[in-house]
């Protein structure tokens, strides 16, 4: 007879009908007390004990975000897979759907608001620039189901003769650079531009932050609102703006005033203009003109060349969207077919994403000096999903242990310390893509590149950016 091993595990879960309510080791972040408090605050706790208590339903909705490609019954099966021996219900799809509608949006929105926020400890690698916490703002689009109950609020795009593609939901988030945590988010119909949603995020800014943003966020009133919050900004300017220098500085930048006819008091900004040369691995050379606007007025303390390099960090927002859209959603259309269900699903996605980032932050805290850019989000997501199926780590085994199974998995699979600079391909892959046919402005495949910026004064203004 061959030798065999016997492994006996002890699993601690909530008692009775509450047992299926968990998300594995992530439950230590979204814990029972937090969910119960949110349900109590939002008035969505059940009036009588049900076979599907509200707490269990909240965890089920979060689990849907971890397993976006799975059906309701399959996700429920994962929640109870490690709980053999317990007398648990096997609800039907309709019961789970009704339970989602019963708790509504409020508890998931409140959960996200509670977990949202910066993660980096003071001075953590990649998250700060000269004492300022760097954050970025940007927007993206999510596909929603093509259903009459939805399209009146989320209409499809309209061409010259017909509608096309899926209806679109616009999501705008504030991202902490270095950790890719989400301090705040806003979403709604695509018809409302990114800037109105970004204004809703200003409450998350404070005097310790430096906001990075692309040219779509260079509106004078928006910059003034950032300044009023006490935060600093570094924003790319559009070609429409023609700032008039009133003082040239030693590093090639200059001071200008914005807000004539718009603001009661003019806003003084520092303008950094540069000729940028990007050389791709295949030898292609692309040249661009950049103009950056910043509230950091001292060139000795914040040199222009450093700020040009720092501006690249705003791509942390794009990496965040890639994690949510490509890794968590796997490019899929959101599953909910009602407006309230969509709101609930988006907040659940954001809550689960933020819980994953907080788990990664706890693991990184055990290795001082480790840059969170080295954490693989794919490994992070997969390891968290595995703990749901095995019902592992629902309650902490050792108080104060920040690592756990998720932490050990991501620390054992760190990405290289020195990441290559790579240019993302931007070509039209489907008829609804916002990118037109590649006209030579971007490579057809991702490539490494070298970057050089020459600080200068563009006497004839900024050339209009070519559409890509």
Per-residue pLDDT tens for 229-243?
999 999 999 888 888
Both 168 and 248 in a single domain?
yes
Both 110 and 215 in a single domain?
no
Output the DSSP codes for 219-277: -HHHHHHHHHTT-EEEEEPPTT--PPEEEE-TTS-EEEEE-TTT-SSPEEEEEEEEEEE
Helix, strand and coil in the chain, % to nearest 5? 35, 20, 45
Both 133 and 111 in a single domain?
no
143 CB-near residues (< 8 Å, 6+ apart): 165, 166, 167, 168, 169, 332, 333, 334
Both 139 and 164 in a single domain?
yes
Q: What percent of the chain stands above pLDDT 90?
A: 67
Both 107 and 137 in a single domain?
no
Both 385 and 313 in a single domain?
no
Count other Cβ atoms within 10 Å, centred on residue 282. Answer: 10
Residue-level pLDDT at 468: 43
Q: Please say if the pLDDT value at position 466 is more than 60.
A: no
| C-alpha to C-alpha distances, 31 to 39, 58, 77, 354, 386, nearest whole angstrom | 13, 11, 21, 14, 18
Short-list 456, 415, 449, CA closest to 126: 415
Which sign, positive or negative, has the C-alpha torsion 212, 202, 218, 300?
negative
In a domain, 203, yes or no: yes
Rounded-to-integer distance, Cα 46 and Cα 246, Å? 64
- Secondary structure class of 438 (helix, strand, coil): coil
In a domain, 427, yes or no: no
In a domain, 192, yes or no: yes
Higher pLDDT, 283 or 138: 138
Both 21 and 62 in a single domain?
yes
pLDDT digits (tens, 9 = 90+) for 281-332: 888 888 888 899 999 999 999 999 999 999 989 999 999 999 999 999 999 9
Both 108 and 152 in a single domain?
no
In a domain, 463, yes or no: no
Domain boundary among 303, 321, 339: 321
In a domain, 381, yes or no: yes
Q: Please say if the pLDDT value at position 205 is more than 90.
A: yes
Short-list 27, 10, 104, CA closest to 388: 27
- Tell me if the pTM is above 0.85: yes
Domain boundary among 298, 321, 344: 321
Q: Do the Cβ atoms of 305 and 317 come closer than 8 Å?
A: no
Residue-level pLDDT at 439: 47
Higher pLDDT, 424 or 386: 386
Both 207 and 305 in a single domain?
yes
Q: Please say if the pLDDT value at position 443 is more than 90.
A: no
* Residue carrying the six token digits 């301090």: 183
Which segments within 262-381 are labelled E, that is strand? 267-280, 285-294
pLDDT digits (tens, 9 = 90+) for 392-410: 999 887 655 657 899 999 9
In a domain, 257, yes or no: yes
**Residue span of the structural domain in which 384 resides:** 9-115+376-417
Residue-level pLDDT at 467: 47
Both 165 and 281 in a single domain?
yes
Both 178 and 78 in a single domain?
no
Report the chain's mean pLDDT, rounded to a whole number: 89
Q: How many residues does the chain have?
A: 468
Both 70 and 151 in a single domain?
no
315 CB-near residues (< 8 Å, 6+ apart): 136
What value does the mean pLDDT take over residues 264-282? 90
Residue-level pLDDT at 400: 52
Q: Please say if the pLDDT value at position 145 is more than 90.
A: yes
In a domain, 332, yes or no: no
Domain total in the chain: 2
In a domain, 142, yes or no: yes
pLDDT category of residue 353 using cuts at 50, 70 and 90: very high
Q: Which two tokens stand for residue 48?
A: 């009588």
């Amino acid at each position: 007879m061959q030798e065999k091993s016997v492994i006996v595990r002890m699993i601690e879960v909530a008692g009775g009908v509450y047992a299926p309510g968990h998300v594995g080791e992530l439950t230590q972040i979204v814990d029972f007390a937090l969910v119960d408090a949110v349900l109590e605050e939002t008035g969505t706790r059940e009036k009588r004990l049900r076979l599907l208590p509200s707490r269990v339903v909240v965890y089920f909705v979060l689990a849907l975000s971890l397993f976006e490609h799975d059906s309701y019954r399959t996700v429920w099966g994962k929640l109870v897979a490690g709980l053999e021996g317990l007398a648990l219900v096997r609800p039907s799809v309709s019961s789970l759907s009704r339970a989602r509608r019963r708790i509504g949006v409020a508890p998931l929105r409140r959960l996200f608001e509670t977990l949202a926020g910066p993660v980096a400890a003071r001075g953590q690698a990649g998250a700060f620039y000269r004492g300022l916490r760097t954050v970025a703002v940007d927007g993206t689009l999510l596909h929603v189901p093509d259903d009459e109950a939805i399209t009146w609020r989320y209409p499809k795009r309209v061409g010259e003769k017909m509608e096309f593609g899926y209806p679109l939901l616009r999501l705008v988030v504030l991202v902490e650079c270095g950790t890719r945590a989400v301090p705040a988010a806003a979403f709604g119909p695509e018809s409302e531009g990114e800037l109105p949603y970004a204004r809703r995020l200003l409450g998350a800014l404070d005097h310790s932050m430096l906001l990075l943003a692309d040219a779509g966020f260079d509106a004078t009133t928006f910059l003034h609102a950032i300044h009023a919050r006490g935060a600093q900004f570094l924003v790319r300017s559009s070609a429409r703006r023609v700032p008039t220098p009133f003082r040239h500085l030693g590093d090639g930048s200059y001071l200008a005033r914005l807000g004539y006819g718009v603001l009661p008091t003019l806003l003084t900004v520092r303008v950094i203009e540069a000729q940028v040369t990007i050389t791709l691995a295949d030898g292609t050379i692309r040249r661009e003109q950049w103009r950056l606007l910043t509230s950091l007025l001292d060139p000795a303390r914040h040199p222009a060349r450093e700020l040009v390099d720092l501006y690249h960090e705003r791509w942390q927002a794009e990496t965040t969207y890639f994690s949510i859209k490509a890794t968590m959603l796997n490019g899929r259309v959101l599953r909910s077919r009602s407006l309230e269900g969509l709101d609930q699903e988006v907040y659940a996605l954001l809550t689960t994403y933020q819980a994953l980032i907080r788990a990664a932050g706890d693991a990184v805290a055990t290795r001082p000096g480790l840059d969170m850019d080295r954490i693989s989000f794919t490994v992070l997501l997969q390891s968290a999903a595995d703990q749901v199926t095995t019902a592992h780590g629902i309650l902490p085994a050792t108080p104060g242990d920040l690592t756990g199974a998720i932490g050990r998995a991501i620390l054992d699979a760190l990405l290289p310390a020195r990441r290559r600079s790579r240019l993302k391909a931007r070509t039209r892959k489907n008829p609804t893509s916002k990118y037109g046919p590649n006209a030579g402005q971007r490579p057809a495949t991702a490539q490494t590149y070298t970057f050089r910026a020459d600080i200068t004064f563009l006497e004839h203004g900024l050339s209009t950016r070519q559409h890509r």
